[in-house]
Amino acid sequence: MRNKTITPLFIALFLLTLMQGCNKETNPKCGPNKKYDLYLFEYGAYAPSAYTYMDGNNRVYQWGDLVEHVCPDEHVKVSYRVRLHFSLNSRITARGRISWSLLFERQFSMSPDGLDLKGNGEAGLKQAFGENEASFIPILEVLFPTRGNRTDDDQYLKENVQAVEIIAEYLDYKY
């Protein structure tokens, strides 16, 4: 009889402890919720600026920006999406990652979901930044076997990729 009362009480106490450890609103070191949102679309009309390089036989297009003024006490949550024009072309793949403090990086796999390639994950910055203001770079890459030159690769990207999106949610650093 006693075990039936203690078990739910223990579970409730455990859950309450977990929730208090991640309570963003009472964290004195963090400011309000922030969102980094990179959304580029209409590749048929223009090619948004992207860093590009070769990785073996693959042409890689890369997007991302430095995000500063981040509270390191809460994890950064990132989602990635690549929208294709047509049914999934197995020759186009994508990968997402987040890097911080030059030495740290976390990669996220992206999987087909209808006409999209999607991936998400999170990263903790506290190990690298301690109590100091943090920063990170969310990166999205689209890659496919090269068509032989940059002009043809740019055209292939325009014909097959409709949009790219990165969303990173984090807390502002409180000074």
CATH number of the domain residue 150 falls in: 2.60.120
- Return the pLDDT at 27: 75
- Residue 113 resides in a domain: yes
Instruction: Name the pLDDT band for 17 (thresholds 50, 70, 90).
Output: very low
Instruction: Name the pLDDT band for 3 (thresholds 50, 70, 90).
Output: low
- Residue 6 resides in a domain: no
What is the spatial distance between Cα 48 and Cα 61, in angstroms, rounded to a whole number? 10
Between 7 and 136, the higher pLDDT residue: 136
pLDDT at 95 over 70: yes
* Range from 2-11, 138-147, 161-170 carrying the lowest mean pLDDT: 2-11
Kindly state the percentage of the chain with pLDDT values over 70. Answer: 79
Tell which residue, 138, 5, 18, 164, has the closest CA to residue 83. 164
What is the tens place of the pLDDT at every residue in 101-142?
989 999 999 999 999 999 999 999 999 999 999 999 999 999
Distances (CA, A) of 137 to 4, 113, 118: 49, 25, 18
Give the amino acid at 140.
L
- Residue 17 resides in a domain: no
- Residue 10 resides in a domain: no
pLDDT at 45 over 60: no
Number of domains in the chain: 1
* 162: containing domain: 29-173
Other CB atoms within 10 Å distance of the CB of residue 17: 9
pLDDT at 1 over 60: no
- Residue 169 resides in a domain: yes
- Return the pLDDT at 26: 60
- Phi, psi of 138, deg, nearest 5: -85, 135
